[in-house]
Amino acid sequence: MKGLLAAKDEKSAKAIAPAPPPPRDDGPERAAAARTLQRFCRSVADDGPLLWQAPRLFGCAGAADLLLGTAAGWRRVRRSASLDVRGERLAKATLARLAALRLTAVDLTGAGRGDGDLLALQPLLPTLERLVLNDWPELASLHEFFRTPAPRLRVLSVAECSRLGDGGVAIVWELPALVDLCLYGCPLLTPRCARGLHRDAPLARLNISGCYKLGDDFLRLLFHAKPHCALYTNPNDNAS
């Protein structure tokens, strides 16, 4: 009897409970959004010369890849001295195309992931004066990248590249023009990373906020070599 009542109650519950909604097919919506974005990017590339005086492509997923993939967009970018693609994870093909540009400043925050992506950008180094590589989650070393000379690089930021270790940043002290270095949020660094710092290095400003293993030993090495170096805490407060 109890079994019959339980079965009856189960059937009643199924009859009363609303049926789950069918799975939503948002493929057409995504396709429509992609077409809209393509039209927007092409119109900007064709009709927006003001944007390309200092191109900023951040904040719209896929925009940079699409814009740089159009002939008109590429022509505009090639006439620019700076490029800002923060927050835009770029395809490897796009990173490779960027390497053909002659830029003096580029913000690639979040644009790449690791050492392989960075090596694709080596051809930019001879002309770069400002390079921002914040939030590259798998970037472990700058050593191979900077084996290509960077004679004009004055500002370098690798904030929140949490896998960078001592051997990966030691080469930056050899950069002949580097005056501003941001190591914000690189918790693996220890005082050993500064062993190559020397008096002739032009370094004038340094951010080590969030580098929890850099203590008094690091500060002694730093101020012995560069007694007038300024420490700052805001990763966006770079030298111009």
Dump pLDDT digits (tens) for 110-155: 988 999 999 999 999 999 999 999 999 999 999 999 999 999 999 9
- What's the distance, Cα to Cα, between the start and end of the chain in Å? 84
Whether residue 186 lies inside any domain: the answer is yes
Whether residue 34 lies inside any domain: the answer is no
Per-residue model confidence (pLDDT) at position 131: 96
Q: Considering the chain, what is the average pLDDT of its residues?
A: 79
Q: Considering the entire predicted model, what is its pTM? A: 0.76
Whether residue 33 lies inside any domain: the answer is no
Per-residue model confidence (pLDDT) at position 230: 94
Per-residue model confidence (pLDDT) at position 5: 47
Whether 128 and 102 have beta carbons less than 8 Å apart is answered as no
Element at 206 (helix H, strand E): strand 205-207
Residues 6+ apart with CB under 8 A from 162: 137, 185, 186, 187, 188
Per-residue model confidence (pLDDT) at position 2: 46
Whether residue 117 lies inside any domain: the answer is yes
Grade residue 46 by pLDDT with cuts at 50, 70 and 90: low
Cβ–Cβ contacts within 10 Å for residue 186, how many? 27
Quote the CA–CA distance of 234 and 232 in Å, as a whole number: 6
Cβ–Cβ contacts within 10 Å for residue 71, how many? 10
Per-residue model confidence (pLDDT) at position 49: 40
Token pair of 86 as six digits: 């923060």
Whether residue 17 lies inside any domain: the answer is no
Higher pLDDT, 233 or 191: 191
| Pick from 47-61, 117-131, 133-147, 187-201: least confident | 47-61
Tally of domains in the chain: 1
Query: What range defines the domain where residue 188 resides?
Result: 51-231
Per-residue model confidence (pLDDT) at position 60: 53
Quote the CA–CA distance of 206 and 181 in Å, as a whole number: 5
Higher pLDDT, 161 or 22: 161
DSSP string, 114-156: BHHHHHTTGGGTTT-SEEE----TB---STTGGGS--TT--EE
> How much is the average pLDDT of 93-101?
85
Grade residue 175 by pLDDT with cuts at 50, 70 and 90: very high
Give Rg (Cα) of the chain.
25
Whether residue 118 lies inside any domain: the answer is yes
Per-residue model confidence (pLDDT) at position 79: 76
Whether residue 32 lies inside any domain: the answer is no
pLDDT higher than threshold 90 for residue 24: no
Length of the chain: 240
Higher pLDDT, 239 or 45: 239
CATH number for position 117:
3.80.10.10
Token pair of 6 as six digits: 């339980």
Whether residue 3 lies inside any domain: the answer is no
Pick the closest to residue 216 from 190, 198, 239 (CA basis): 190
pLDDT higher than threshold 50 for residue 17: no
Per-residue model confidence (pLDDT) at position 53: 43
> How much is the average pLDDT of 70-96?
78
